[in-house]
Amino acid sequence: MIIPCIDLMGGKVVQLVQGREKALEGDAPVAMLERFAGFPEIQVIDLDAAIGNGANDDLVALLASRAKCRVGGGVRSAERARALIDQGAWRVIVGTAAFTPALDEIVAAVGRERVIVALDSKGGRIVVKGWREATDFTAEQVLQRFESRCSGFLCTYVDKEGMMEGTDLEWFRRLRARTSLEVTAAGGITTLDEIRELQRMGVNAALGMAIYTGKLDLAELARMQHLQQLT
């Protein structure tokens, strides 16, 4: 599955480089949603909530009411997860809280099938708190620990996020081999060949910068998605 991304900051759609430097702004959130209408699922990340700098709750609720959205950013409590589901989110993405007791509370509140665990890697280690703090773990080490408490994984190769330099397909291949659950790849995916290789692995592709800069054509991506659904 090809999953376009809508990242929110300060009420706007943005794209950051490695989660820090703003590189560009997109169209209005609803306009972006309309551009992505040819895809079965949208990824919405509230970057302000992720770093603890407010939230974009109204926009998240608006987007989730109009499309099938997986929503992340600051999902660190059962209350937050439940609120997002109640607003219309299809699934919630849990990053930082996955490494705390809050994960079990979130799963109890919304159900395992609604939870995606984010395993974001920078310099070989999982990073949390908006990618600003490193843990002692690698994604390969912890995948199986979370399998009973989620329905899939969002794995971001932060080292290449937003840099338009390609991603690390071998890393995603290793992750795919370690779990039977859904795996979604993000971070630096830049070419159609990379997406095709991820599809061959059985890995979803979450796309941001390459779409917003026009490096990847939305019409071509929609055709690829349609063909994948037919197979």
| DSSP characters over 9-67 | ETTEEEEEETTTEEEEE-S-HHHHHHHTTTSS-EEEEEHHHHHTS---HHHHHHHHHHS
For residue 131, pLDDT over 80 is answered with: no
pLDDT in tens, 6-22: 999 999 998 887 666 67
Q: What pLDDT is attached to residue 134?
A: 80
Q: What pLDDT is attached to residue 162?
A: 58
Mean pLDDT for the chain overall: 90
Out of 27, 120, 136, 193, pick the active-site residue. 120
Residues 183 and 57: their CA atoms lie apart, in Å, by: 26
For residue 129, pLDDT over 80 is answered with: no
For the question of residue 7 being annotated catalytic, the response is yes
Q: What is the pLDDT confidence band of residue 24, given thresholds at 50, 70 and 90?
A: confident
pLDDT in tens, 159-200: 767 556 789 999 999 999 999 999 999 998 999 999 999 999
Q: What pLDDT is attached to residue 199?
A: 95
For residue 42, pLDDT over 70 is answered with: yes
Extract the tokens encoding 107. 């799963």
pLDDT in tens, 78-121: 999 999 999 899 999 999 899 999 999 999 999 999 999 999 99
Residues 11 and 113: their CA atoms lie apart, in Å, by: 29
Domain 2-230 CATH (choose: 3.20.20.70, 3.40.1410.10, 3.40.50.620, 2.40.340.10): 3.20.20.70
Q: What is the pLDDT confidence band of residue 26, given thresholds at 50, 70 and 90?
A: confident
Residues 96 and 168: their CA atoms lie apart, in Å, by: 23
Q: What pLDDT is attached to residue 53?
A: 86
